[in-house]
Chains A and B, each alone.
Chain A
């Protein structure tokens, strides 16, 4: 048994243990905290599997942003109905473990049947890797996201926009983020912001810039900037407002628009759709996507149609 396998087994066991903690127990808040830990271990597993792009995205989103979203929703529920939210046990049924075991067995069977596929020649990933040199890009994931499967990414940006619009439609006009924490004028918090926010922006723009050749890109950069947005919202530097401006709406749609342009512009020039348009075009599209992703996730957290800067 090698040391690497031992690490993998330990990480897997920790992940399963954390998942069990998420669904068990009576306190909902405890479940949310365990879910954040689950996301962090997940990011470590991505790093172990060599998927650095995913480790970056999952550490910022799966652990950070989902946890923060859950805690804000929890706070709103506690304000509304303290008793039931604090105590949320499970219902008893003999059928439940059976269904769970069967679905676990199904997933395991799917996994085992998929493992031999790795040895087959001519997988999509191999094709992508083989044609990477033609594009002059160093990061195969960026090539897949923006070139080989650009159409998928376009639709995923549309899903992101739709989720945001859906959240706007169902949000009650009066519900907004509860008043920011009273402590936000503490000197320590001020210096934390002065240190963290510039570094996060530096890292995010760096991720965007190197995304074509190294792990990084619009999704990771956008999630990091959204995390900074959440920090600014929590400390009251950004305030949710009830009316959005045309600038906000434009920025929300910029990602979809840029990808549409990336997909359709080659057709105007007489090529097929999604023909490779060069590094500059990719970088521009990634920058637009980063802006949209950042703004969408920040506004989803704020629960408001727009934010403004505290003056």
Chain B
């Protein structure tokens, strides 16, 4: 078992947790947090599979993840703005009707 393998397993577990959170959470903000977990898991998988046995990691996935982090933050900010607007309009912070939340 070598180092990248540990992080592949970590990424898989975090992704699964993120999917669980995305589906199971009622509150939209927690769904957003779960999506961010999934995002981090994908980044980790990209880097872990490109950094074999302690060598310097591949610069191409590093560059992709670097820009991806900034994009992730900006889209999270957009989603939060959308969520605040939605909550103010429909009165509750979950998908679907109020009574079935």
Contacts and interface: CB of A to CB of B under 8 A. Distances in A.
A–B proximity contact (CB within 8 A): yes
Interface of A: 4-5, 8-9, 11-13, 15-16, 19-20, 22-23, 28, 31-32, 35, 38-39, 42, 45-46, 49-51, 53-54, 57-58, 61-62, 65-66, 69-70, 73-74, 76-77, 80-81, 84-85, 88-91, 93, 96-97, 99-101, 103-105, 107-108, 110-112, 114-115, 117-119, 123-126, 128-129, 140-141, 143-145, 148-149, 152-153, 156, 159-160, 163-164, 166-167, 170-172, 175, 219, 222-223, 293, 296-297, 300-301, 303
Contacts of A93: 23-24
A124 B73 CA distance: 27
Majority DSSP secondary structure for residues of A touching B? helix
Nearest to B85: A170
A80 to B, nearest CB: 6
A107 B60 contact: no
Contacts of B56: 50
Contacts of B4: 115, 118
B30 A97 contact: no
Given A38-B40, A53-B66, A129 B19 contact: no
Identify the interface centre among B17, B92, B101: most chain A CB within 10 Å of its CB: B17
Contact of A54 (B9, B25, B47): B47
23 contacts: A23-B20, A23-B37, A31-B30, A31-B33, A54-B43, A54-B65, A54-B66, A62-B40, A81-B91, A84-B92, A85-B93, A89-B26, A99-B23, A105-B16, A118-B4, A118-B51, A124-B60, A156-B70, A160-B74, A163-B78, A164-B78, A167-B82, A297-B77
B12 A105 contact: yes
Contacts of A166: 78, 81-82
Given A76-B84, A104-B16, A62 B26 contact: no
Contacts of B60: 123-125, 128, 144, 148-149
B25 A159 contact: no
B6 to A, nearest CB: 5
Given A20-B17, A50-B51, A81-B87, A28 B29 contact: yes
A113 B94 CA distance: 37
Contacts of B54: 4, 50
Contacts of A11: 10
Nearest to B56: A50
Q: How large is the interface on B (under 10, 10 to 19, 20 to 34, 35 or more residues)?
A: 35 or more
Given A23-B37, A115-B5, A97 B20 contact: yes
B8 A123 contact: no
B81 A170 contact: yes
B67 to A, nearest CB: 4
A80 B18 contact: no
A110 B9 CA distance: 11
Contacts of B19: 99-100, 103-104
A306 B4 CA distance: 44
A85 to B, nearest CB: 6
Contact of B33 (A35, A96, A114): A35
Given A22-B21, A23-B21, A69 B7 contact: no
A300 B30 contact: no
B6 A8 contact: yes
B29 A77 contact: yes
B30 A88 contact: yes
Given A61-B69, A84-B93, A300 B52 contact: no
Given A111-B12, A115-B8, A166-B78, A172 B88 contact: yes
Given A58-B69, A300-B78, 7 more contacts: A8-B7, A50-B57, A61-B73, A96-B20, A97-B20, A104-B19, A163-B75
